Amino acid sequence: MDLKLLPITSLPASRPTAGVRPAASGASGAVGGGFSGALKTALNSVSAAQNESTRLQKEVQMENPKVSLEETMVAIQKAQIGFAATLNVRNRMVQAYTDIMNMQV
């Protein structure tokens, strides 16, 4: 499971002033779609870790000599940590959305 975020290398020379949106062509960028791309990649990574963990658990239960219990336990822990991090991100995003919706205009 690899949850690395790529550095932003293509920043415009000058920052836009308040109220001015950047050009639509740079919105998706080469960084994989910005926040949504990074979130999708992270969710796919967590899902892959959970699938790998499940596969290794089944292999251990079938007493496959090529799969060690230690390897399986590490995969389970990686999947649990990834899921907990995803759950925290989701909770913070919901809280931010709630805070924005409760703002007075």
| Spatial contact of 43 and 86, defined as CB atoms under 8 Å apart | yes
Of 36, 71, 45, nearest in space to 57 by CA: 71
- The pTM is what? 0.62
For the residues 51-79, what does the mean pLDDT come to?
A: 93
Q: What is the pLDDT of residue 7?
A: 60
The per-residue pLDDT of the chain, averaged, comes to 80
Domain-by-domain residue ranges, the chain? 32-101
**Could you read off the pLDDT of 79-97 as tens digits, one per residue?**
999 999 999 999 999 999 9
